[in-house]
Amino acid sequence: MLMHTPEYHSHEEFLNRTRKLEEIRELGIDPYPPKGLASQKTLQISLDYEGKELGHSDDAAAGNTPPAVISGRLVLFRAMGKNAFGHLQDETGRLQVMFNRDQTKVAGLSETPELSALKFIEKKIDLGDIVAVEGNLFRTQKGELTLFAKRVTLLCKSLLPLPDKHSGLADKGVRYRKRWLDLITDASSLEKFRLRSRILFIIRNYFHEAGFEEVETPILQNLYGGAAAKPFTTHLNAHHQDLYLRIALEISLKKLIVGGMEKIFEIGKVFRNEGIDKTHNPEFTMLEAYAAGWDYEDMMVFAERLFETIALDLFGDTKVRITSPEESVAQVIDLKAPWKRLSMKQAIKEYVHIDVDALSDEEMRVLLKKETPLIPKEIDKASRGHLIAMLFGELAEPHLIQPHHIIDHPIETTPLCKLHRDPLLRKERLVERFESFILGREMCNSYSELNDPELQRQLLVEQAEQREKGNEEASPLDEEFIEAICQGMPPTGGIGFGIDRLVMLFTGAGSIRDILFFPIMRPEE
């Protein structure tokens, strides 16, 4: 069967550029050389010569001004008689280049009366082509820093045009699907991803300075666990065995704590076969950390100081101006520790004015059906602890704009967490857990980890029974994990961060797709 011919092969611009490509080859020039030139960054050049006198074009032509070499994509070009001006764009910015009929040469071109170097650049080079330019710096009469081109080397001939420079990429779907075009045309998008890299560096440094070791654990697993989620499945041909893509990092990391490692963390991809919206993508990045001897109180302090550290490193202040997805007006979020702490019940009482302790289970069900979009069937089969969690999630959570720690959750929501040490809260079947919220979004989740093997097994058996009854998000029984806990896990504090949501916070992104290089998208028709 013949391969389908892409639609762009009939694009007029593609055909024109393909013709030019052949003409360039016929001239003896390699349009795709194996190596580029050692070059400087446009931003650094601009900084190095900011406010400095450099002379004019005649000085640069004579070689009496500082030399420079830059490589980048040609994004603007205009011919002006014996000169032509263009802008070269690299990953740090743009710099103006001047091409001259008498002085500019093209690497590999044997000039003829019919085809000078400048004519070659005008006729054979297109916007979007990648070139290296060697020359001398000068300032135009308007004071613009410019590189006088002495030698131009074609590094890559592009066969498709860039998006229109005025309209850019208006379609978000195209921006997400064809991220390379988004990065070329929108400097702010590139800056978001740079900020993401910087944030990851700060996080790793913060954990290393606190004595944590970074580890890596398997993505493919015999059993999945550590969260309530539906997994992706795959098949290992070598063992004729079905496997799961991990839904959390937790189980493997706890086995390492049992093994004697005391402070560990992992940053890695996890996969959940669930819905897609502004804060959810089926493939996302998690950070989980565990510290022997710590509890959830220690992790609370550690977490809020992490956010404080990131803000100070990026912006020099704990007060950050952010536009939330729900609000069009920027607001100031103060990340300075300590953060406000409320139990789940207290949060419902303070922000929704409902005292759940004064309500029966049935009264909560009636309230949820009236005030939330939750499915009535799910409400009817929910336990009291789940009903409280539903009320909190649907009605109180959107009010948590400034940083909050929501502590002391019902045990039904958290089968891997230690029961509360306070006898009264323990009697209410509350656990030592907190979730942190900013802008109404969960930012992290932490437990005093359960290390009682008998209770652990009981809770995981309950999860497995729910799964057998049709709950696709309940975890199967992992006897190997229980065996590890039976061999002794010290008191341990654990925490998980959604890295993507954290990056959304610090970049002001309204959607998780804005800070993932390649989010999950429907295939193009």
Q: Are residues 67 and 112 in the same domain?
A: yes
How big is the chain, counted in residues?
525
d(C-alpha 431, C-alpha 517), whole Å: 37
C-beta neighbour count of 468 within 10 angstroms: 11
Total tally of structural domains belonging to the chain: 2
- Condensed to tens digits (0 to 9), the pLDDT of residues 237-246 reads 999 999 999 9
In a shared domain, residues 48 and 117? yes
Lowest mean pLDDT of 40-54, 299-313, 394-408, 459-473, name the range.
459-473
Q: Residues 502-517: pLDDT tens digits?
A: 999 999 898 999 999 9
Say how far apart CA 248 and CA 308 lie, in whole Å: 26
Element of type H or E holding 90: strand 83-90
Q: Are 158 and 208 within one domain?
A: no
CATH code: domain of residue 468: 3.30.930.10
**What is the arithmetic mean of pLDDT over 151-174?**
85
Pair (194, 230) in one structural domain: yes
Q: Which distant-in-sequence residues (6+ apart) come within 8 Å of 227 by Cβ? A: 247, 248, 250, 272, 475
Q: Between 337 and 413, where is the model more confident?
A: 337
Q: Determine the average pLDDT of the residues in 167-181.
A: 84
Alpha-carbon Rg for the chain, nearest whole angstrom, is 30
The pLDDT tens digits for 2-16 are 566 777 777 899 999
Please say if the pLDDT value at position 472 is more than 80: no
State mean pLDDT over 487-511.
95
Integer Cα distance of 477 and 481 in angstroms: 9
Q: Is residue 2 part of a domain?
A: no
Express each pLDDT in 213-235 by its tens digit: 999 999 999 998 888 889 999 99
Domain boundary among 116, 131, 162: 162
pLDDT reading at 473 higher than 70: yes
Q: What count of other Cβ atoms lies within 10 Å of the Cβ of residue 114? A: 6
CB neighbourhood size of 68 (10 A): 22
Q: How confident is the model at residue 408 (pLDDT cuts 50, 70, 90)?
A: very high
Distance CA 338, CA 345 (A): 20
Q: Answer yes or no: is 390 within a domain.
A: no
Same domain, 63 and 199: no
pLDDT of residue 49: 96
Cβ atoms within 10 Å, residue 395: 19
Global pTM?
0.91
SS3 422: coil
- Please check whether residues 259 and 130 belong to one and the same domain: no
DSSP secondary structure, 232-292, as one string: PEEEEGGGTEEEEE-S-SHHHHHHHHHTT--EEEEEEEEE-----BTTB-SEEEEEEEEEE
Place of tokens 């009496």: 64
**pLDDT value at position 1?**
45
Q: Are residues 189 and 157 located together in one domain of the fold?
A: no
The structure tokens listed for 202 are 């700060």
143 forms beta bridges with none
Asked whether residue 156 is domain-assigned, the answer is yes
For residue 39, give the CATH number of its domain: 2.40.50.140
Q: Which pLDDT score, from 0 to 100, does residue 165 have?
A: 61
pLDDT at 84: 97
Asked whether residue 79 falls in the same domain as residue 206, the answer is no
pLDDT at residue 153, as a whole number: 98
Residue 473, helix vs strand vs coil: coil
Strand partners, 269: 285
What pLDDT score was predicted for residue 324?
Answer: 52
Q: How far is CA 297 from CA 52, 126, 302, 327, 348, in A?
A: 55, 60, 9, 32, 21
Mean pLDDT (the chain, rounded): 93
* pLDDT at residue 356, rounded to an integer: 95
CA atoms within 13 A on the CB side of 470: 2
Of the two residues 174 and 488, the one the predictor is more confident about is 488
Domain boundaries, position 87: 7-162
Tokens standing for residue 18: 């393909």
Mean pLDDT of all residues in 29-35 = 97
In a domain, 521, yes or no: no
**Is residue 365 one of the residues assigned to a domain?**
no
pLDDT one-digit tens code per residue, 300-334:
999 999 999 999 999 999 999 886 555 566 789 99
Selection from 84, 92, 188, 190 nearest residue 146 by Cα: 84
DSSP 394: I
Q: DSSP character for 437?
A: E
DSSP 311-371: HHHHHSSSEEEE--TT-SS-EEEE-PSSPEEEEHHHHHHHHH---GGGS-HHHHHHHHHHH
More confident of the two residues 127 and 471: 127
Q: Is residue 448 part of a domain?
A: yes
Does residue 453 belong to any structural domain of this protein? Answer: yes
Domain shared by 331 and 443, yes or no = yes
Let me know if residue 360 belongs to a domain: no
> Quick check: 170 pLDDT over 80?
no
Q: Which of 51-55, 260-264, 454-458 has the highest mean pLDDT?
A: 260-264
